[in-house]
Amino acid sequence: MGKPDVTNQSDDEAKEKMLDDGKLTSACGTPEVIFMSENGKTKINDENLSQVLSGMCKEELMSYANNSFWIKLRWLLFIGFWILWFAMLAGAALIIIGAPKCTSTSTKKWWAKSPIVQLEPLNIIGKNNGISIEALLDNLKKQNIDIISLSSILSETSKNHVTDFNSLNSNITIKDLAYFIDAAKNRSQKVIMEFDINYSSINHSWFVNSIERIEPYTNYYIWSDGKNGTEPPNNWLSIKNGSAWEWNDKRKQYYLHQFEKTQPELNFSNPLVVDEFTKTLINWIKFGFNGFRLGGTQYLTEDPNKRDEIPIRGPARSQMYESFNHVHTKDRHADNILIIAKLRNAVENITNNEGLFAFKDDTGDDAIAIFDDNKVKINLPQRSNFISTIDNEITAETLQKGIIRATNGEWPGWNFNGDGASLRSRLGDSTADSLILMSLLLPGTPILKLNDCLNDTSAFPKVTAKRNEDTFLYGGFKPAIINGTVFTYIRIKSGHPGYLIAYQSSDNQVDIDVTSMPFKTSELTVLAHSRNYNRNVTSFAEKMSPKKIPISPKSTLILSFINGD
């Protein structure tokens, strides 16, 4: 056998290896060198040497990096980037802030959408001029009235003289009330109750037992020994004038009454009294009521030291209520709010925050501020004394001032009648209807008597139907006085129809120009007007120019428009 050719094998392995490693390139761009094996010798193949392009080496890069021009350029780009970034961030924030807010219609509660009508006991049992309960509720439904407030239905010897906060007036049975509430619920109508809580009748069993010092009722009311034995404890006065203290010969003490002497003040500093009313509210909610309007809440507590009231500056008439600042018996917010919070929480908890908790009386700005600070929510706060006391001489300026004040905060209640003379007895039917129609699109909830709702079956339901629209519930409110006597306001929301409401407070027929108000349109369409509005003037038309809108004396006109933004 022949001997293997070792030389040729080694040469082949060497050649293979050299071919695998065959190309080396300099980092700084030197020519390409190829090492080859030939006849067992290594040589450089320089026949096809060519200049090869390559990246810069470290030394060359550093020379540019330290060049002043490139340093300045890098800083300029760096700073420019961050300026541009912050500019885009600021622009995005401005767009978010300036963009129209998308508001969910679910945020407004049921008491914002419908006016409230107050009914008396006879209405509940179907004895209202021969009108059945069903017919009455149907008539209210046609007027878009979905909230009914029942007053004077509790057991009492006379009006506002309650003898039992947990039982009904002798004219009403539990069966009557249950039937009424069920009938209302079948029509998607809410039923609330209103009553005064700061006093009871002198015939209430609590007061009878308190006189006898029978526990736990001994301190359910405000009792005090006399000064010098027989004189009233201090100078506190009843709002009816005269001393707020009345001697009880059986108990041999004075009791406090800030109203009639037959209406003794309950002692809300006694936790047992607060518990009694907490149970009362819960029981009536369970029965079927949807909330309450409570009266007398500004009189819940008194100064425990029974200090004298301070006379108002000027000569004080000793027995006249208006001659004193009643800081020790009224609006003692720091103490009152603790009681109100407990009652409010009871209603919130039993209704899952869906129950109305409102006051019958006007609430001052100071009280509302304290409620807000303590996160105690009062629904439909009233600042409407200017409405519940107005007469035919009310001016556009008075209206605007009172309305602006009342709408500055929580969704308000507009109580047109109050506890005094009704709106109709003060203004007459036609002017009363006109003012009520004007109020229906104000931010807030009108609180009306039955005749206020049923007297106008044309304009009233047309306007109340608009209370469910986003323009009313969430739109802007802009009031103005035109020609010195016409109170006007607009309700406006982007993407929705707008409304212009005008009330002429004087006895003159006028044409108004509303182009100065914050909306743009070339045409307005008549939606409704009060019955005393004169359609026979030459300038009347179903569609009107904003430069010339006729308004009749003591009348209200409501127009719709499409805002051109």
Where is 138: in which H helix or E strand? helix 133-142
Token reading at 42:
């290594």
CATH label of the domain that carries residue 489: 2.60.40.1180
> What is the DSSP code (8-state) at residue 128?
B
Is there a domain that residue 482 lies in?
Answer: yes
What is the spatial distance between Cα 308 and Cα 550, in angstroms, rounded to a whole number? 57
Is the pLDDT reported for residue 42 higher than 70? no
Q: In the chain, how many H helices and how many E strands?
A: 17, 25
Residues 67, 149: Cα–Cα separation, whole Å: 86
pLDDT over 80 (residue 463):
yes
Question: Mean pLDDT throughout 417-438?
Answer: 91
Domain assignment of residue 548, given as a range: 393-412+438-443+457-565
| Buried-exposed string 463-489: b where 16+ CB fall within 10 A, e elsewhere | bbebbebebbbbbebebbebeebbbbb
User: Would you say residue 156 lies in a domain?
Assistant: no
Tell whether 283 is covered by a domain. Answer: no
Rounded mean pLDDT of 185-203? 98
Task: Return the DSSP state at 218.
Answer: T
The verdict on residue 22 lying in a domain is no
Decide if pLDDT at 436 tops 80. Answer: yes
For residue 89, give every residue at least 6 positions away whose Cβ sits within 8 Å of its Cβ, in sequence order, or none: none
The Cβ of residue 522 has, within 10 Å, a number of other Cβ atoms equal to: 11
Q: Does any domain span residue 471? A: yes
Q: Token match 């008396």: residue?
A: 120
Residue 2 has pLDDT above 60, yes or no: no
> Pairing between strand 147-151 and 116-119?
parallel
CB atoms within 10 A of CB 383: 23
Query: Would you say residue 259 lies in a domain?
Result: no
CB-CB contact of 284 with 294 (8 Å): no
Model confidence pLDDT, tens digit, residues 373-391: 888 889 999 988 888 888 8
At position 343, the amino acid (one-letter code) is: L
**Per-residue model confidence as pLDDT tens digits over 67-110:** 778 788 888 888 989 999 999 998 888 888 776 555 444 589 99
pLDDT on residue 538: 77
Domain boundary among 75, 98, 121: 98
- Cα 445-448-454 angle, rounded to 5 deg: 115
Question: Residue 52's pLDDT is what?
Answer: 52
Return d(Cα 387, Cα 394) in angstroms, integer.
9
Q: Using one digit for the tens of pLDDT, what is the confidence trace for 259-278? A: 999 999 999 999 999 999 99
Interval 543-554: pLDDT, tens: 999 999 999 999
Q: Is pLDDT of 534 > 80?
A: yes
CB 321 within 8 A of CB 239: yes
Strand pairing category for 291-295 and 253-256: unpaired
Query: Token digits for 220?
Result: 């359910």
pLDDT for 464 equals 98
**Residue 59: per-residue pLDDT:** 72
Tokens of 115: 């006016």
Q: Which two tokens stand for residue 320?
A: 């006249």
Q: What is the mean pLDDT of the chain?
A: 88
Q: Is residue 514 part of a domain?
A: yes
Are 396 and 432 within 8 A, CB to CB? no
For residue 248, give both structure tokens.
């009880």
Query: How do beta strands 291-295 and 356-359 pair?
Result: parallel
Structural domains in the chain (count): 2
E strand or H helix that includes residue 118: strand 116-119
Give the 3-state secondary structure of residue 196. strand
- CA-atom Rg of the chain in angstroms: 41
Residues 491 and 475: their CA atoms lie apart, in Å, by 6
CB 464 within 8 A of CB 143: yes
What pLDDT does 44 receive?
Answer: 55
d(CA 552, CA 211): 61
- Residue 265 neighbours by CB under 8 Å, 6+ apart: 198, 199, 221, 222, 255, 256, 257, 258, 299, 302
pLDDT at position 16 is 45
Tens of pLDDT along 492-522? 999 999 999 999 999 999 999 999 999 999 9
Task: Say yes or no to pLDDT of 24 above 60.
Answer: no
Coil, strand or helix at 107: helix
pLDDT at 391: 84
Alpha-carbon gap, residue 209 to 215, rounded angstroms: 8
Question: In this structure, is residue 402 part of a structural domain?
Answer: yes
Q: How does pLDDT run across 133-142, given as a tens digit for each residue?
A: 999 999 999 9
User: What global pTM score does this model have?
Assistant: 0.80
> In the prediction, which pLDDT does 37 show?
56
Q: Span 193-199, mean pLDDT?
A: 97
* 381: CB partners within 8 A, 6+ apart: 358, 359, 363, 368, 409, 410, 412, 413
